[in-house]
A and B are shown apart, each in its own frame.
Chain A
Amino acid sequence: MNKTAASLTMSSKSGSRWNTSISFRFLCIVSGILLVSSVVATGIICINQNTVLERFLKNKARDLGAYVAKLSSEAMLLNNTVQLDAIVREAIKDDDIVYAFIRDTKGQILTSQFASIDYISLQKKSIELALPPDAGILEIAEAIKTREEILEVSTPVDVGDQRIGTVTVGISEAHIDAQLRRTTLFVLALNIAAAFAAGAVLFAASRKMILSPIKELAKATGCLARGELDTRVQVKAHGEVKMLVEAFNQMAHDLKMSTVSKEYVDNIIGSMNETLIVVSSEGSVVRMNRAACRLLGYGEEELIDQPIDVIFPEEPAGKVSLLDYLRTHGNLAETEKTYRANDGRNIPVLFSASEIRTGASMLGYVCVAYDITKRKKAERMLLQAQAELLTNHEVLKSLYAQRSAQAEELEKAYAELKTTQAQMIQNEKLASIGQLAAGVAHEINNPIAFINSNLGTLGKYFARILSYLDIQNQAFASLENPEIEAELAQARKRLKLDRILEDTGRVVEESQDGVERITKIINGLKMFSRKDEEEQKEADINAGLESTISVIWNELKYKVTLNRVTGDIPKIKCYPGQLNQVFMNLLVNASHAIEDKGEITVATWQENGNVVVSIADTGSGMPESVMKHIFEPFFTTKEAGKGTGLGLSISYDIVKKHNGEITVESAPGKGTTFRVSLPVG
């Protein structure tokens, strides 16, 4: 409102300011001087022009009169009025001539009215003379003179030395008046236009060079006076004006460096986001900024002179009031307090207050507060969230433990499942091989049986052939025929019959031995690969060991010396096939541990109610690091593709399945000993 009023005042003043401005005065003075000059110049020109025109007109009238006089002398002598009329009629055709007439020496007019008077021009000028019809030319001429400025010139008509008449020419000055008016107007217009043009140019030049910089300076001075200390004059100026502008700018700069304006301070206070309340030393509000009004919901002037306690909730009895605290301590820094708004809301604020002093006198206190409602709310929410977080953390922790255990179990189960799957696959493979072997053994068993039978028969028959040959030899010897004997001896020698006979018996024996061994292998195979029954059965461990050895004997025989130290052990309840698989694994591993030649010692004995089977080799042995992993599934020291890493793992499981125990002792270069302990019951 005040601002509007101020602007109105300014606008109302602007007119008078323009009237009193240098620009206006300068413009008026320049225009006035130029106008007066132009008017004076026009006047001089016109006076001069008037003189010239009058002289010209006089000359013209005189010349025309002389001409008419010269023309009319003869006609006058002849008294030829018609010709005189014709002459003056021609003369008045001139635009300036209003009348022309000729008189004789007696003064009698010789020319006629309509030849002498230029009625055409009178009509054109709308001049009505209104004379009597019989008015003479002189009367008409006089009447015309009363209507307009006439310059009358009389010229004598001479013939030789004798004067015979006079020519009178009336020449109108209306034309020169009109001409003068036109000239005056034209010159005046030209001068005024030139004056205005010159005035405009002068004004523009002075405005640009002097007035505009001064105006800018005045404007800038006003701004400076209002406290706008950044105001500078940015105009192009020259000479003294330039010096003035530079001096002003320097002055403004110096002023800014040395002054902080009230408006600047007000602007700062007004622009603050923090609330600012100035309290008098008595405790009444002196001033508050917009942020404070906004926060507390009061008008700018509403709290002025009100006690500061209005904006604070009521303190409990006995508590030191803010004002007392400040009077005692002087300052209060960043303390959480609560404001009470106009609508009764409590607003938490971060409150600071300090004294305002000028020298020794205390003027009051300046209180600055920052609304921390959001912060408080955020703090509360944070605490709440923290508590929830802790609870959730505990819950999650327990859940994590559960899940970890479950995961471990799952991992374990998965590993077991994986092992079991592999073992099952291996077992299935072995079982398949065993079944195949059992099938093969079964199929081979019959031909082997009749081969064995036939070999026995063949042995018998060969014994009989030998007996016959003995008898025959004896018969031929009995004949004592040297030739026959020689021939027979030669044939016998050529056919190597003695050697054949000697070898045949051995061949049969060896064949029978082979068949016996095949039978044994087949039986071993059948025994080794017999399908495990659903339930355990009592079995002889030594027999199982033998059958196993027989199965793998082909692998062992070339580099292993097998020592058997079989004790007297009872039959145990077990899955014989599975145990045979354990023994085969241990024997094959022992064989593989022996690089070139070595020994494997298989021993059985009974110990603490358990049957113990020991398989020791003289192979390369293994370090501790290997040893502790050997029962893990898929662990192998063999080349890729040669070992599955499942043999000992399966063996371990089988032994565990029999509630037994498998142990190993080994040292690099000293061989390895596996011991399988199986309960008898």
Chain B
Amino acid sequence: MRPTVQPGCTRRGTMRPASVKRSFFLSFVLFFLLCGSARAEKRIGILLFSDDMQDAVTGVLEQLRSCGFKEPAVKYLLENAKGNKAKVAELAHKFAKARLDLIVTVGTSATVPIVHQFKDIPVVFSMVYDPVEAKIAESWQSSGNNSTGTTARVSMPILLGRLNELVRVKRLAVLYTPGEKNSESQLMDLQRMQKSFGLKVVPVPLTGKGEAAFLLPEVLRTSDAIYLTGSNVVNTEVAGIVESAGRAHKVTVTHFQALAQRGVLLSVSANTRELGRLAGEKAVKILRGAKPSSIPIEGLKKYDLILNMRTAKAGNFLIPPSLLGAATRIIQ
């Protein structure tokens, strides 16, 4: 914001003592105005939970910058918890000292502690699967607090429909992590769908690194397909899971775009970057004065259908042409 200068301040050639006093007063006002303009710089903290969601951050920034919130007028404080919940708490403490105007969080594990801690700073979240289930919002229409955001939730009927196009599933093993709301919500969504789709959802809780290797033989023996929730434990074990499933000729499916990139055969997911941009829009609205609780929480209307052909070839899966035709992205 540029300071406004009074044109009358230089009308006379010589200055009298009264005018000197006035000039001094004006200079003082100008100083405060300048200070005010300096304090008027927006400070936005962005907290990313894990690298898998980096695209969402990119989308947020793109959107903010496109709406005029560029550096140096806006100062972005970017932090990455690298999948560590303990670090999230540490970074939240750092944000508290930074006198931020807005906090953008990416990932449920990053969002929940931030929303609970910051009651007076607006929070825009992204990549949260079910904020209501995660108890950070009262409803999808209004959070009832200083937060709003976007959800990565997908339509499970669509996902199961696409899965059934690939393979007839009677027992769907769901790899999830108890305690991770995002992960648990996906399980519950699937459980709600099991009757409709005539399948049995078999929950497979993974609570620590290395467990998957012990459980997978029995899981793969008793299931037709494996659904990978985007929990931390699942994320770290994804390569081994995909490889084992491929050997057992079992389909892997997820709603999490990053996991498709890392080998999951079928993914019906919201575009992470687009989700970020959508979150950026909500952030712009807040920065322009809107209340977070007045902005509804929403997801994308369209989902990406991603097929990982490397995994398909490795597991010798035959992809139906209809599915191939419907795929928005094929990873070779």
**A residues bordering B, Cβ < 8 Å?**
81-83, 85-86, 89-90, 93, 112-115, 119-120, 123-124, 133-135
Contact = CB atoms under 8 A, between A and B. Distances in A.
Contacts of A135: 222
Given A82-B184, A82-B188, A119-B214, 6 more contacts: A83-B178, A86-B178, A89-B205, A123-B217, A133-B171, A133-B223
Nearest to B213: A123
Interface string B190-216: 010000000010111101000100110
Interface string B270-312: 0000000000000000000000000000000000000000000
Nearest to B217: A123
A123 B214 contact: yes
Given A85-B203, A115-B203, A115-B205, A134 B171 contact: yes
Given A85-B178, A86-B178, A114 B204 contact: yes
Given A133-B221, A133-B222, A134-B222, A86 B205 contact: yes
B169 interface: no
Interface of B: 171, 173, 178-179, 184, 187-188, 191, 200, 202-205, 207, 211, 214-215, 217-219, 221-223
Contacts of B184: 82
Given A120-B211, A124-B214, A89 B178 contact: yes
A89 B205 CA distance: 7
24 contacts: A81-B203, A82-B188, A82-B203, A85-B178, A85-B203, A85-B205, A86-B178, A86-B179, A86-B205, A89-B205, A90-B207, A112-B205, A113-B202, A114-B204, A114-B215, A115-B205, A119-B214, A120-B214, A123-B214, A123-B217, A124-B214, A133-B221, A134-B171, A134-B222
A492 to B, nearest CB: 192
Nearest to A113: B202
A114 B215 CA distance: 8
A453 B100 CA distance: 193
B230 to A, nearest CB: 16
B206 to A, nearest CB: 9
Nearest to B187: A82
Contacts, number: 53
Most A-side CB within 10 Å, residue of B173, B191, B211, B218: B218
A114 B203 contact: yes
A81 B215 CA distance: 20
A90 B178 CA distance: 10
A338 to B, nearest CB: 112
Contacts of B205: 85-86, 89, 112, 114-115
A650 to B, nearest CB: 153
A675 to B, nearest CB: 167
Nearest to A111: B203
Contacts of A134: 171, 200, 222
Nearest to B218: A119
Contacts of B215: 114, 119-120
A494 B215 CA distance: 198
B204 to A, nearest CB: 4
B157 to A, nearest CB: 20
Contacts of B218: 114, 119
The 6 closest A-B CB pairs, nearest first, are A86-B178, A133-B222, A120-B214, A112-B203, A114-B204, A123-B214
A626 B31 CA distance: 177
A82 B211 CA distance: 18
A183 B203 CA distance: 40
B222 A89 contact: no
Nearest to A123: B214
Nearest to A140: B218
Contacts of B223: 133
Contacts of A81: 191, 203
A111 to B, nearest CB: 9
Contacts of B211: 120
Nearest to B222: A133
A168 to B, nearest CB: 18
Contacts of A82: 178, 184, 187-188, 203
Contact of B207 (A83, A89, A119): A89
Contacts of B173: 114
B226 to A, nearest CB: 12
Given A85-B178, A89-B205, A134-B171, A114 B214 contact: no
A133 B221 CA distance: 7
Contacts of B171: 133-134
Contacts of A86: 178-179, 205
Contacts of A113: 202, 222
Contacts of B219: 114
Contacts of B187: 82
A379 B271 CA distance: 142
Which of B171, B184, B205, B214 has the most C-beta atoms of chain A within 10 angstroms of its own C-beta? Answer: B205
A201 to B, nearest CB: 51
A115 B215 CA distance: 10
Contacts of A119: 214-215, 218
A119 B218 CA distance: 8
A119 B173 CA distance: 15
A90 B221 CA distance: 24
A113 B191 CA distance: 14
A140 to B, nearest CB: 10
A93 B223 CA distance: 23
Contact of B202 (A83, A93, A112, A124): A112
Contacts of B214: 119-120, 123-124
A671 to B, nearest CB: 165
Contacts of B221: 133
Contacts of B178: 82-83, 85-86, 89, 115
B188 A114 contact: no
A328 B116 CA distance: 147
A542 B9 CA distance: 206
A85 B203 CA distance: 8
A82 B205 CA distance: 9
